[in-house]
Amino acid sequence: MSAQRLRLGFAFVVLAAVVMLLAGVANAWASVPDGTLDGTVMGNSAPLANINVDVFDNSGYWVGQAFTNASGYWSINLTPGTYKVFYFAAEYNDAHPTASYVSRYYGDGMDFDAATPVVVDSEVTTTVDTVLEPASYISGSVSFGGAPVQGLTVNVYLDGELMAGRDTDSDGNYIIPGLAPGDYVVEFDSYWYNDENGTNLVTEYYENVHVWDDATLVTVSLGVNATGIDAGMEVSGSISGTVTGGGEPLPDVWVNLYDSDGYWVTNALSSAEGTYTLDGFSPGDYRVGFDPNGYNFDHDTMFIEQYWDNAPTLDDATPISVSVGVDVPGIDADLVSAGSVSGTVTGGGNPLANVWVSARQGYWVIANAQTDAGGNYTITWLPPGDYEIEFDPGQYNYSHDTSYLLEYYDNAHYGEARTTVGVDADTTTPDINANLETAGTISGTVTGDGGPVDHLEVQASLVDGSWSNGAYTNPDGSYTITGLPAGDYIVSFDPWLVNPSGPPSFLYQYYEGVDQYEDATPVAVDYGADTPGINAELVVAGSISGIVTGDGGPLAEIDVSAYSESGGYGYASTDADGHYQITGLGAGDYVVEFRAGWYNYANETAFLEEYYSNARLEEDATLVSVTLAGDTGNIDADLEIGATLGGTVTGDGGAILNGVNVTVFDSAGNYVSDDWMEAGSWAVRGVYPGDYVVQFSAWDYNAYNDTSYIAEYWDDKSTFDTATRVTGTYGGQIMDIDAQLVQGGGSIAGTAYGPDGTTPLAGILVYAYDQTPTGETVTLGSDYTDADGTYSVTGLGTGSHYVVFYDESERYKDVVYDGVPEGYGEISPALAMGTPVNVVTGQTTGGIDAVMPAPATLAASVQDAEGNGIEDIAVTLWYNGGAAGWVPVHRHLTERDGSALFDGAYCGLFPGEYRVQFADDHGDLGEAWYLDSASAEEAQTFTVAGGENYTLDPQVLPVVTPPEDVTFTPIEGATRIGTAVAASQKAFPDGASTVIVATGYNWPDALGGSALAGVLDAPLLLTATDALPAAVATEIDRLGATRAIILGKAAAVDAEVEDALKELLGDANVERIGGADRYETSRLIAARCVDEQDGSYDGTAFLATGSNFPDQIAAAPLAAGKGWPIYLTNPLHPGEPNLIAAMQADGVTDVLVLGSTNAVSAPAMQAVTTSVPCTGTRLGGADRYETAKIIATYGVTEAGMSWDGLAITTGTLFPDGLVGGVLQGKTGSVLMLTKPDVLYSGIAMVLTDNKDSIHEVRFFGSTSAVSSTVRAQVAQILQ
């Protein structure tokens, strides 16, 4: 740690008081004080005179001061209020250096937050007496070459804070009084001494070291002083050289010295002979810059600034290593003169004045000039190099009402190839001319809802994306877009500003009359010409409205958002009456979400967020149907009051630790919310009832306060698993979740190196962290690497922790210690997150180093058969993760020219092996792997080195022709309820006597009902919670059903649905199977399933987690086809007696456990197999996709199912897969899961291995669930 990063301590109180006085004292003195605060200050049983007593208000503003008299008494008049008092003994201590006292706040507080507040009442004297503790001092002498040094500043620091400083006297002696017990760093600062005396002594720390971290700590304790803390100063190292220009000496050039982090240190001015010397700085690595601007001004020259050794920028400069007392000579510079560029700018052959001409390198303008009346310009001050020359006629157009286009030399507009211009030293490059073109225009009229549309934004963008411009419509609906280069444009009509205060609103569209970019009709524009008649008739959008209430009244400023699977989105905030209206919505079904976060923060309430209608989770939301030009009203919400969790965090001596982070997780380990200790407390508001884990981490506090507080869980536990759970209830407030953190622990230390493995990297942020059982990151400590690349993360508890290295400057790839690149593991959790580091309290685990590679750049492109670029092709990079296999780590869509660029610290490539996949998201083309390979196994593997640039040959995608002997059957509806109806129609074309009805907005009941539906040969239909959808009633009628079984209690399917079914089928023909929770319901359904088999049940059953759905979706075909019931196990209560008893009663002899031990733990499996008793077989993989493959394979190889008719559905959401099991079970086929946009590799393997026997593939859900890309990949494999 350097002294530059230290925060000022008590010694700065007086200056801080002056600043606070300017900010707040005016208000304090605006009225007559009507209360008195006084007291007496004592020390060693004697009154203390000349003690400065400062008074602050409760917000920290200084309001007044007094000095104690000979009796130690002081008094000050104050307005009524709450105050804090600081006793500043500096003046007394200066007069009594060997008998000094410690400055402090009233109430034994060493900082403002810990001070005891004092209340002053009107016309009352409040007395606060105090006794100051005797202080210690540090003393010594400073010499140079054996002679005393007078006037050199000696500073002392405690825990990184500057506490006091004194100058040495004529004998070189110093004494620093008033010090509290502690371990101090003593600094001998030569900066001002050198400045006043013309010397070049080097600053040092006790004991004779020049780096802060190497200082020997000086300990003082109560009544025990530290004497003999001496320093023998040394002459600093120096750097010297000569500055010339064209071989001639250059005087008056500023030579600047920069440290290894790029911070300016000192400078010197070159002499008449061009010589200079830099000195007075600490040993280390430095860079030198030569600034000739002063010389140029005096001599009318154009020498260019440069850095040693002949480098154009500080980053490119060569480092110079300097030792104490040693001069490094020969650091010379021969400066070169600037070049220039000149030419003439015309338009239509006529000279154009006031055109700005700029010389650019990348984004940077290096220099510019403006044309004169003859159109002539000269750009000077250009360092030798290559430039793009830009001609900007904006000012000319403004003053002459013209529309000339900006362009680059040589006659290039945006997106066109530019010719660079070379510039040599002391030379003019002439004839860089431009004849500017007049822009084209697009015009038209916008109407909607029977009339013109005013103030609508119309935007025109070149199809290659290189240029765009826009305009707003006039009151008559007309518009004209100017300033357009020739080319083909996509024109869009954006109504967001038309009527911001309310409906009617219009839908966004493209010319002509389409809502998707790719469907737009391009508009051709020529130079100097108008393209008229580009009109639009806007469609009136739909809206959603309602009222939000809570605690008996309307709630204002509640955020309400609506979104659909097709990408529709809108939001609004409630007004003072709780009313909201979300406008601008297209037709479709929307999820509506109500969030009270800001309201809770502003009003200290705890309203819960929810989804319509009264749903906690998105998947449980009731969809809201929107029609064009209509408002769907009464979408109301009455928010419940959730739990509030809060408390305080303290440290040593009960000190309040403001700035400590408090994170709340649910009992499984998922992040819920967090807060920072502020003003002495923390609070997380609006959490649902349940059990929570609270973690306290001082990593940020430690970094700023140089402390080492150890993170912990409530209540005083070291790990997530052992943490005491906090139970939140509706409306409950638990405000005593406190923690008292302790300092100490162990530490992790090491070095961060650059790509060569030897160059240390400064400024790298190093985190130590743990993970919850669900993979959430829990930060424990951090540090930045120093100039030598070293770091030390302190305050770590005993145990195993992960370490990650971040480069905030984005020069290098972030890495996890002994693991994969940071970020790759986040994208693909299958990658190992490095090797955990063992930490022991009181010890340092060293050698935890990292080599940080520079990111490589990869340019890919996709073309059609004619060589034209193809837009929106998904390009996915797959990384060889070793034991984790090949995993996808980056994905880009190609630009309009077919290109995709992976670059930068995040999207650039980590060194290693890669494969590249290309897939068409729109399904028109197929999939390919680089280079021209049909599968990942055949793909070309290439090795990437850090910092290199790679360009792949263009990839041509094949046109997919579906195989003639394979049928691809989509099973989908407009909603999840419609998908269930479609599955029923497919499975039961001739009808069914019984229907199973379950909620479509949660999964446990429907999935558990798959086995029962199969046994009864009944379809599984989904319903809304509070109403039977018309489509379901119609399907029941088509089926000719005479009986219905409702699954779940009334909270899942309420009485209104039951009544509607009874009206259709008769009261006696409708029954309900439902328990107190999902676990009891699953047992009841299982028992019914066994009973309906009338003695033919074979004893096989599934055991699945009750906390997630994917494994059960995959097992549902077997459950339906074989009549095997699904029992749910509670992760918090493995082997609960009710489960064991139910399985025993049902005659279970063989249990198939679904998922890995993360889903159903080993103890849960053992409890069942041992207690029932029964045999057990686990069907589980590394993730939900592999688990589904294992289950499907088991179905084919062990249960007589078939790959033909294979169903594929998304593994990320449950609705589309809920009803797949019944159809698949009835036809004897299995089901597998995939990600929506990338085909799971296991499915590809199954298709490849069984393509000859597969004649039908079914896709459950829309293309939002199983994308066109995935479907095309399936077809391509089966070709």
- Please, are residues 800 and 836 in contact by the beta-carbon 8 Å criterion? yes
For residue 515, the model assigns a pLDDT of 84
Which is nearest to 57 in space by CA: 88, 92, 17? 17
Residues 6+ away with beta carbon under 8 Å from 1178: 1153, 1156, 1160, 1165
For residue 29, the model assigns a pLDDT of 37
Q: Are domains 138-232 and 857-956 of this chain identical in fold? A: yes
- For 108-113, the CB contacts below 8 A with 24+ separation are 109/84, 110/180, 110/655, 111/655, 112/56, 112/60, 112/84, 113/655, 113/656, 113/658, 113/680
Q: Where are the beta strands (DSSP E) in 513-621?
A: 523-525, 530-531, 536-538, 542-550, 553-554, 559-563, 569-573, 579-585, 588-595, 610-611
| CATH match for 746-851 among 1.10.10.10, 3.20.20.150, 2.40.10.10, 2.60.40.10 | 2.60.40.10
Q: Look up the CATH number of domain 344-436.
A: 2.60.40
CA gap 6, 387 in Å, rounded: 44
According to DSSP, residue 156 is labeled: E
Crossing angle for the helix pair 1078-1092 and 1004-1016, to the nearest 10 degrees: 0
In sequence order, what DSSP letters do the residues of 1200-1268 get, joined into one string? --EEEEEEEEESS-SGGGTTHHHHHHHHTEEEEEE-SSS--HHHHHHHHHTTTT--EEEEES-TTTS-H
Continuous segment of H or E residues that includes residue 306: strand 306-307
Q: Look up the CATH number of domain 3-131.
A: 2.60.40.10
The CATH architecture to which 643-740 belongs is Sandwich (2.60)
The pTM (predicted TM-score) of the whole model is 0.56
For the chain, the structural domain boundaries read: 3-131, 138-232, 237-335, 344-436, 452-538, 542-639, 643-740, 746-851, 857-956, 967-1278
For residue 465, the model assigns a pLDDT of 78
List pLDDT tens digits, range 53-66: 999 998 889 999 99
| CATH match for 857-956 among 2.60.40.180, 2.60.40.1890, 3.30.70.1380, 3.40.50.2300 | 2.60.40.180
Structure tokens at 963: 């195989």
Which is nearest to 215 in space by CA: 148, 156, 283, 128? 156
CA gap 475, 396 in Å, rounded: 29
- Please, are residues 1084 and 1075 in contact by the beta-carbon 8 Å criterion? yes
Which residues in the chain show pLDDT less than 50? Answer: 1-32, 503, 825-832
CA gap 477, 446 in Å, rounded: 5
- Supply angle C-alpha 472, 478, 479, rounded to 5: 45
How many CB atoms are located within 10 Å of the residue 868 CB? 10
For residue 20, the model assigns a pLDDT of 42
CA gap 1135, 1121 in Å, rounded: 27
CATH superfamily of 138-232: Transthyretin/hydroxyisourate hydrolase domain (2.60.40.180)
For residue 7, the model assigns a pLDDT of 31
Residues 6+ away with beta carbon under 8 Å from 1235: 1185, 1210, 1211, 1212, 1270
| CATH match for 542-639 among 2.60.120.920, 3.40.640.10, 2.60.40.10, 2.40.50.100 | 2.60.40.10
* Chain centre to alpha carbon of residue 451: 45
Which is nearest to 1224 in space by CA: 1024, 969, 1032? 969
For residue 11, the model assigns a pLDDT of 38
CA gap 94, 91 in Å, rounded: 5
CATH fold of 237-335, please? Immunoglobulin-like (2.60.40)
CA gap 1043, 99 in Å, rounded: 97
* CB hemisphere CA count around 626 (13 angstroms): 29
Q: What's the Cα-to-Cα distance from 706 to each of 102, 696, 698, 699, 794, rounded to whole Å? A: 21, 17, 11, 10, 10
The alpha-carbon radius of gyration of the chain (Å, integer) is 38
Q: Where are the beta strands (DSSP E) in 668-755?
A: 671-676, 682-687, 690-697, 712-713, 726-728, 733-734, 739-740, 746-753
What SS3 state is found at 902? strand
For residue 974, the model assigns a pLDDT of 76
